Amino acid sequence: MNTGKTAAGILLLTLLAVAVQVGASVSGRDYYLTQLTMAAYTAAVVMGLSLLVGYTGQISLGHAGFVAIGAYTSAFLSTAPLAHASGTALGKSLLRFHVLASRPELYGDGTVVSLAPGLAFLAGLLLAGLVAVGIGYPALRLHGHYLAMATLGFGLIVYRLVLGTAFLGAADGISSVPPLPILPGVACTGEPGQRIANYYIAAGFTLMVLLFLLNLTDSRTGRALRAIHGSERAAAATGIDTAAYKLKVFVLSAILAAAAGGLLTFYRGSIGPSDAGAMKSVRYVAMVAAGGMASVWGALVVGFVLTFLSLRGCFGSFDDAVFGVVLIVIMSFTPEGPFGPLRTLVVRFRARRRPALANGESEKEIPRVVA
């Protein structure tokens, strides 16, 4: 139990988040907050994926598909006009109870009635969860390369569907997504006046995901997940329902991805097919790998920093190449992540006499997919 350590870490991170905001605002660089906000949502996706890939050992090359499901459902349901609803009695009462929401027409002076953004957001989570059950149930019986391909195929199908479907905006995506009200006066939206508030919404969401995952991994459930990664048959023989756990983790990480995708969509006010692309999925995996695979903290830090740098345009025209190189270098030299060997170095430095463990070379059996 690392309750104390966890609490200290979260507290420190919260202080850091506040310091960054104050620093950015005081120095007149408020615009940084926009990218920081988007990076925080991406980091949440990466953390959720690390639970699946790093802890449980089940690869997903289609997680952008779940981000897209959350994002597109939120965007579509909160913008699709329900023209007939506003006139009827039912429509009026639904409006009163905030099941429906009206907003001014973009070009013109009428109003448009659509599903309330909050419900659209929840529908996105629900849909992602349902799709994850449908995909995960057959897919998670597969291992290694087969699972990788199945999830890659799933991601590509989602990409092709959103790209080819007219009511989802095809290549243009969906724009002018309304704000998602969170508290009175505070909404998840890209409006400049709400920039600081939205920075804290994203930070709060990400910190909650962090706390949730840290607690989860350091528990009976977390051990069961790592056991599945270590040896699936031994886990099963020890009484762990491996199929059920794998499915639950898959669904959980899908819902987290959809939640982050939905919030990001309300924040940006739009969503396009590029967010569903296979390259996005690969980036998520790259960040999980660079964060040390089975490390929620690593996933958070790497996911946040790399996404922020990428959004700031620091990688120039080598944006994708950077992620490719990260994948190759990490997997070739330190498959357990860059932090393991670093930690080993520190330990070795502190106590030179104690034999250090070679972290990079685990003694796992060669997992051959076909014997």
Residues 64-123, interacting with other proteins (CB under 8 A): none
Considering the rule CB under 8 A, would residue 164 count as an interface residue with other proteins? yes
Q: What is the rounded CA–CA span in Å between residue 356 and residue 334?
A: 16
Interface with other proteins (CB under 8 A), residue from 103, 143, 343, 348: 143
> 166, 173 in Cβ contact below 8 A?
no
* Contact range with other proteins by CB under 8 A, out of 38-46, 152-160, 254-262, 337-345: 152-160
Interface with other proteins (CB under 8 A), residue from 223, 305, 343, 348: 223
Considering the rule CB under 8 A, would residue 163 count as an interface residue with other proteins? yes
Q: If DSSP codes are grouped into helix, strand and coil, which group holds residue 278?
A: helix
Q: Which of 48, 36, 29, 35 is nearest to 203 (CA)?
A: 36
Q: Which amino acid appears at position 255 of this protein?
A: I
Interface with other proteins (CB under 8 A), residue from 44, 75, 139, 177: 139
Q: Angle, nearest 10°, between helix axes 195-217 and 31-50?
A: 20
Q: Smaller CB distance to other proteins: residue 83 or 346?
A: 346
Q: What is the rounded CA–CA span in Å between residue 161 and residue 64?
A: 13
For the CB of residue 155, give the shortest distance to other proteins in the complex, in Å: 9
Q: What is the rounded CA–CA span in Å between residue 292 and residue 337?
A: 3
Q: What is the rounded CA–CA span in Å between residue 334 and residue 350?
A: 22
Residues 6+ apart with CB under 8 A from 65: 154, 155, 157, 158, 159, 276, 281
For the CB of residue 324, give the shortest distance to other proteins in the complex, in Å: 3
Q: Which amino acid appears at position 147 of this protein?
A: L
Q: Which amino acid appears at position 195 of this protein?
A: R
Interface with other proteins (CB under 8 A), residue from 181, 190, 204, 324: 324
* Contact range with other proteins by CB under 8 A, out of 69-77, 80-88, 94-102, 137-145: 137-145
Q: What is the rounded CA–CA span in Å between residue 315 and residue 328?
A: 17
Q: Smaller CB distance to other proteins: residue 37 or 359?
A: 359
For the CB of residue 66, give the shortest distance to other proteins in the complex, in Å: 15
> Could you tell me the CA-to-CA distances from 335 to 222, 292, 293 in Å, in that order?
21, 8, 8
Q: Which amino acid appears at position 41 of this protein?
A: Y
Considering the rule CB under 8 A, would residue 210 count as an interface residue with other proteins? no
> 202, 186 in Cβ contact below 8 A?
no
| Cross-strand partners of 230 | none
Q: Smaller CB distance to other proteins: residue 83 or 329?
A: 329
Per-residue contact flags (x/-) with other proteins for residues 269 to 308, judged by CB under 8 A: ---------xx--x--xx--x----x--------------
Q: How many residues bind other proteins (CB under 8 A)?
A: 90
Q: Which of 62, 245, 260 is nearest to 161 (CA)?
A: 62
Interface with other proteins (CB under 8 A), residue from 69, 174, 227, 254: 227
* Contact range with other proteins by CB under 8 A, out of 8-16, 24-32, 70-78, 315-323: 315-323
For the CB of residue 1, give the shortest distance to other proteins in the complex, in Å: 6
For the CB of residue 51, give the shortest distance to other proteins in the complex, in Å: 11
Q: Which of 294, 293, 288 is nearest to 307 (CA)?
A: 288
Residues between 348 and 367 that touch other proteins (CB under 8 A): 357, 361-367
Interface with other proteins (CB under 8 A), residue from 81, 87, 146, 342: 146
Q: What is the rounded CA–CA span in Å between residue 44 and residue 278?
A: 18
For the CB of residue 6, give the shortest distance to other proteins in the complex, in Å: 9
Residues between 27 and 56 that touch other proteins (CB under 8 A): 53
Considering the rule CB under 8 A, would residue 323 count as an interface residue with other proteins? yes
